[in-house]
A and B are shown apart, each in its own frame.
Chain A
Amino acid sequence: MDYSLTDEQLALQESFRKFCDKEIKPNADKLDKADYAEADKLMKQNFKKLAEFGYTGMCHEEKYGGSGKDLVTQCVAQEELARVCAATFLSVGGSLGLCGLPIAHFGTDAQKKKYLPKLISTEMIGAFGLTEPEAGSDAIGIKTTARKKGDRYILNGSKTFISNGPIADIAVVMAVTGKPEEKGRNVSSFIVEKGMKGFSAGKHLDKMGYRGAPTSELFFDDCEVPAENLLGVENEGFIQAMKTLEYGRIGMAVVALGIAVACMEESITYAKERHQFGRPIGKFQMVGFKLSDMKVLTDVSRLLIYKAAWHKDNNHPEAATMASIAKLTASEASTKISSWAVQIHGGYGYMTEYPVERLYRDAKLGEIGEGTSEIQRLLIARDVLAKY
């Protein structure tokens, strides 16, 4: 057993933290408040900078321009980015993770060569299209269809809440190819490119938080996708999703942790500086104890994340459940922590000029995206009931 980070991880943590504080943090507020045109521009700039640092390539093989880091190392880096800008974290994660990883895992060599280097360099931005208006938690209930016609598939349907939707160059889209009665084994994944006939993205959806992360619907209107853009094997879409989901869960857990850590750091600073009744408010137990509780929950979240990542790196059978546990715990913790953070800041906490105001709006999504807390609980309970 070893709870320590390696020298490499520590060095990465330090240098990436400096990078994030210098390059990403100063624009985080603007990214949240600007209109979409400007926000998208800032986001793309952030993408480029992160590519230059080497962050975007961490989850991908060297042969495509990545650096092939293990998941624990990725988490160490991810926390630093999540801490300064949840929106950027989400977008980059959506592109390199949700879109890039399915290609990396299930793509042909040709597909990998075609897309991965560009995703890593951020020359291309990717999206992942599963969720539909009528299929949220009930992902198996998706209705977008893909009918084989000669050397192409014709896609019809729509997706919603798609991160990077408005700016995506490619999207991994899941559509029904098999028989309706074979739910769970009747969906395939396709790589759809911007510009393909019949494919369009909707306007930016206006959100409570993560406002800088462009989100939209995607529309498929007799969209023609070349057969070679099928990803992996027909009707294996949900099995693919199952394999890549843990990455998404762990990613979501990390962004929740990052938000929580940012809340805690802001709160500690404020509690030291803000004086009332003749002393720093941190000295009042009702304030100080909230900081203690933040610390407890962030420590717990981080350890669960590392364990989930370590399990996944080792292909442990417990990996899926641990990813659920980490995601559930970290996201619910981060909502609570963001609320305590606003509370500690008093009136300032709900002024938009204070970061915790944005963090409060950002935190809540964590309990919903990548599988709601309710779904995570169902999965964890199922595992418990199976084991004992």
Chain B
Amino acid sequence: MDFAFTDEQLAFREQVLKFSQNEIAPLSEEFDEKGEFCWEAWKKMGEFGLLGLHFPEEYGGANADVVTSCMAAEALAEGGADGGLTLSWGAHTFLCADTIFVHGTPEQKEKYVSKLASGEWVGCMALTEPNAGSDAASVATTAVKKGDRYVLNGSKMFITNGPIADVCVVYASTDKEKRHMGISAFIVEKDYKGFGVSKTLKKMGVKTSTTAELYFDDCEVPEENVLGEIGNGFPMALQTLEWDRSALLAPFVGGMEFVLKQCSQYAKDREQFGRPIAQFQAIQQKLADIKCFVEAARLLVYKVAWNKDQGSALNHMEAAVAKLYVGDWGMPMISEAVQIHGGYGYMHEYPVERVFRDTKLAQIGGGTSEIQRMIISRLLLS
């Protein structure tokens, strides 16, 4: 058993942390306030190499392993980047670009991956629908073969990057009878006829991440844009969990470390009753609890990452445990962090306020806490 990171990983982490603190964090504040996607930050991340980190060099990546990718995501959040930006990154790189990279034909990879890895194009992944959330298998968007194309009809909901995406990996049903084994994946480009954004959604948190309701109205997708095998869509979507439960969870860990620093500094600066509030046990209790959460969450998330680096198949139990813990145990912690800041914790100008709104998503997006509990208990009882 060994919990060490390599010197290389640690050095890279430092770089990302500084990059975040100096280049990204100030932008995050500004754009969260506006509720807008920050193209400047995105560009910088692309230039830094973050958006395609794990891809091979021929696609513009750095061949980073999963642990390193997690470290980068964690460090970006720890430096002060907001949850919206890290979410957009995660959805773009790991739920869209990576799916094309893993399952795409050489032509598809050639066409899409490099541009996505650099951030020149923005990607999104569309699985969830207005009536298919936790019950993801009940996807109702259809894809019917018509000659050399597929015609898509339906709608998708809560799609991260939807409003700004150039490329979208869309999951649609090609065989309703086969239920979740009758779902297929398609690469849809934004200019395709019949595909569009019906609504840009206003959210509690992760405000710099744009989120859309998408529509497909006899949207025609060329045959060559079928991604992977027909009927294999659901397993493909499940596979994205490997990244979802590691690199997409890592920002929550980094964000909480960021918050811990904020809390510690605030507690030492803020004086009441003649002394820094850090001297009150009530505050110490909260600092300790947040610290314990961060350590625990980090261990769980990196275990998932390490497993993937070992080449092991996704351990559904571990993935669910990590997701559930980060969400349900994290939310009370960010609440305590706001509490430490008192009235200031409720004000927009203090980052903990934003992190509170951002963290709530951890219990919902990418698989609710309830679903995680279902998975875990089913496995335990089998």
A285 to B273, CA, bound (A): 14
- Residues on the B chain within 8 Å of A284, using CB: 281
Q: Does A354 contact B (CB under 8 A)?
A: no
**Who on chain B is nearest to A286 by CB?**
B281
Residues of A within 8 A of B284 (CB): 286
Determine if A348 is an interface residue (Cβ-Cβ < 8 Å): no
Please measure, in the bound complex, the distance between the C-alpha atom of A286 and the C-alpha atom of B288, giving whole angstroms.
Answer: 12
Residue A53 is within 8 A (CB to CB) of chain B in the complex: no
Residues in A whose Cβ lies below 8 Å from that of B281: 284-286, 289
Interface centre among A284, A286, A289 (most CB of B within 10 A): A286
The 0/1 profile, CB within 8 Å of B marked 1, for residues 273-293 of chain A is 000000000001110010000
Hey, which chain B residues are within 8 Å of A286, CB to CB?
281-282, 284-285
In the complex, per-residue mask of B245-285: 1 if CB is within 8 Å of any chain A CB, else 0 = 00000000000000000000000000000000000111011
Which A-chain residue is minimally distant from B288 (CB atoms)?
A286
Which residue of the partner chain B has the closest CB to A289? Answer: B282
Nearest Cβ distance between residue B166 and chain A, in whole angstroms?
Answer: 44
Chain B residue nearest to A283 (CB atoms) is B281
How would you classify the secondary structure of chain A's contact residues: helix, strand, loop or mixed? helix
Interface size on A, residues (CB 8 A): 4
Q: Could you tell me the distance between the alpha carbons of A244 and B231 in the complex, rounded to whole angstroms? A: 57
A32 nearest CB across to chain B (Å): 33
A271 to chain B, nearest CB (A): 14
Q: In the complex, what's the smallest C-beta–C-beta distance from B320 to chain A, in angstroms?
A: 22
- Residues of B187-236 whose CB lies within 8 A of A: none
Nearest CB in chain B to that of A284: its residue: B281
- B: contact size bracket: under 10
Chain B residues with Cβ under 8 A from A285's Cβ?
280-282, 285
Report how far A289 CA is from B336 CA in the complex, Å. 15
* CB of A99 to closest CB in B, whole Å: 38
Which residues on A sit within 8 Å (CB–CB) of B285? 285-286, 289
Query: Taking the nearest CB of chain B, how far is it from the CB of A381, in angstroms?
Result: 14
Chain A residues numbered 283-310 whose CB sits less than 8 Å from any CB in chain B: 284-286, 289
B274 CB to closest chain A CB, in angstroms? 16
Shortest C-beta distance, B281 to chain A (Å), equals: 4
Rounded to whole angstroms, the CA-CA distance of A279 and B100 in the bound complex is 65
| Distance of A291 from chain B, by nearest CB (Å) | 13
CA distance A286 to B281 in the complex (A): 6
Give A108-134 interface residues, CB cut-off 8 Å to B.
none
Chain A nearest Cβ from B273, distance in angstroms: 12
State A285–B280 Cα separation when bound (angstroms). Answer: 7
Measured CB to CB, the closest approach of chain B to A265, in angstroms, equals 23
Would you give the shortest CB distance from B74 to chain A, in whole angstroms? 30
Nearest-Cβ distance from residue A340 to partner chain B, whole angstroms: 13
Those of A249-285 within 8 Å (CB) of chain B: 284-285
Q: Give the residues in chain B near A289, CB-CB below 8 Å.
A: 281-282, 285
Give the CA-CA distance A289 to B285 in the complex, in Å.
11
**Smallest CB separation, A374 vs chain B (Å):** 14
Chain B 277-302, CB-CB to A under 8 Å as 1, else 0, gives 00011101100000000000000000
- Could you tell me the distance in whole angstroms from the C-beta of B277 to the nearest C-beta in chain A? 11
Bound together, the chains give a CA A284 to CA B280 distance in angstroms of 9
Distance in angstroms between the alpha carbons of A286 and B285 in the assembled complex: 7
Question: Looking across the interface, which residue of chain B has its beta carbon closest to that of A287?
Answer: B281
**Alpha-carbon gap, A256 to B177, bound state (A):** 54
Cα(A289)–Cα(B281), bound, Å: 9
Residues from chain A with a CB closer than 8 A to the CB of B282 are: 285-286, 289
| A295–chain B nearest beta-carbon distance, Å | 16
A285: nearest chain-B partner, CB-CB: B281
Q: How far is the CB of A368 from chain B (nearest CB, A)?
A: 20
In the complex, residue of chain A having the shortest beta-carbon distance to the beta carbon of B282: A285
In the assembled complex, the Cα of A53 lies from the Cα of B282 at a distance in Å of 46
A78 to B75, CA, bound (A): 58
Question: What A residues does B280 contact at CB under 8 A?
Answer: 285
CB distance from A294 to the nearest CB of B (A): 16
Q: For the complex, what is the distance from the CA of A284 to the CA of B285, rounded to whole Å? A: 11
CB distance from A280 to the nearest CB of B (A): 14
Shortest beta-carbon distance, B272 to chain A, in Å? 13
Task: List 9 extra interface pairs beyond A284-B281, A285-B280, A285-B285, CB under 8 A.
Answer: A285-B281, A285-B282, A286-B281, A286-B282, A286-B284, A286-B285, A289-B281, A289-B282, A289-B285
| Residues on B facing A (Cβ under 8 Å) | 280-282, 284-285
- Seen from chain A, the residues whose Cβ lies within 8 Å of a Cβ on chain B are 284-286, 289
Supply 5 A–B pairs (Cβ within 8 Å), ascending by A. A284-B281, A285-B280, A285-B281, A285-B282, A286-B285
The 8 closest A-B pairs by CB, nearest first: A285-B281, A286-B281, A285-B282, A284-B281, A286-B285, A285-B280, A289-B282, A285-B285
